[in-house]
Structure 1
Amino acid sequence: MLNLTPIVLGVDLDGVCGDYEDALRRSVARRLGCAPSSLPPQTVMDAYAEWGLSFEQFQAAHREAVVEDRIFRTMEPLPGVSEALWTLSDAGIWIRIITARLLFNGIHEASAADTAYWLDANNIPYRDLCFISDKPDVGADLYVDDSPGNVVALREAGRATIVFDQPYNRHLSGPRATSWQDVVTHIQADLDARGRHIPLPLDGP
């Protein structure tokens, strides 16, 4: 018998749906008076120490980027994210956005409001939006995340997780997606294996 219980996909935002690093790089470079290209890609997730920032300096840079430059409203989406998530939604996947953007006190209003704006402006389908750091506590059948810490925590909690490829997570084992089409391929294979589908797609654009 066909199982009509929806598969819930937990989707991270920064580094998975949106290019947070590029947006932060441009903000930091403007304040430092240097070329964005002089700030290298992050190869270790350590508060951008490779840019010469201490944790306190990263916190200040993040705050300025969010409040003054409104990067959560203006950052570029990663290629193919909208199309891929609509494909999954139309296949019956319940998309749950899970983000730890409420990282520092005092900027929650800008963070939350600009996140909702960005999702709509970039035509990202979703049914739930969760602001939480402890992602294993959020119920989902599958997760897509780029953070090594999150991936390890999710897998240790028994949560199936696809690594969205970034330079700082290359040491993690797969399954790994190097593009949003890869994400669709991984999830469609999982959907077929589970024999699960729910015909309740959101209205398309």
Structure 2
Amino acid sequence: MVKLFLVRHGQSQWNLENRFTGWQNIDITVLGQQEARQAGKALMNESIDIAFTSTLIRAQHTLQIILEEIGKPNIPIIVDAALNERSYGNLEGLNKDETAEKYGVEQVHIWRRSFDVAPPGGESLKDTYDRVIPYFENFIQPELDAGKNVLIVAHGNSLRALIMYLEHLTPAQILEREIATGDPITYQWDHNNKII
């Protein structure tokens, strides 16, 4: 049975500092490195043929640690911005609590948790979905259809968009889904392009 593995990068420095990170290239913390190693241990007995990740260092560093942990540092790795985190635009780098004080808790909640409302200068989850899913269909799904086990190491919102697609979730359902850092999610892929 073909498998698809999804991993959100380990804790980043700005996760730790409660900042909007988005497309900023912030690396993982010591805890994030530990989470990546734990993800590798969880995937130790799985066969992984190819990996996909974003252009951001926190995802790439997490992937590197996972592959070292499972003893497969040389499998093909495809890097693409289509898998980048959702852009938070003008909010990137700002502390989330301070932003809530400035713009109001309700407005920040809408920016963070609505499906189709983007923060100033940034992307909504719908915008993220609209770049992640065509990339998945054109570049990742063919690898699964060819019988390869695929690992994707990316970000909370790019993975949330993909999970919405794979599980046929509504916007309301996906907004309630939390994705823990460094905790692998495994799907089985059948030959009718369906998740089991």
TM-score by length of 1: 0.37
Larger radius of gyration: 1
TM-score by length of 2: 0.39
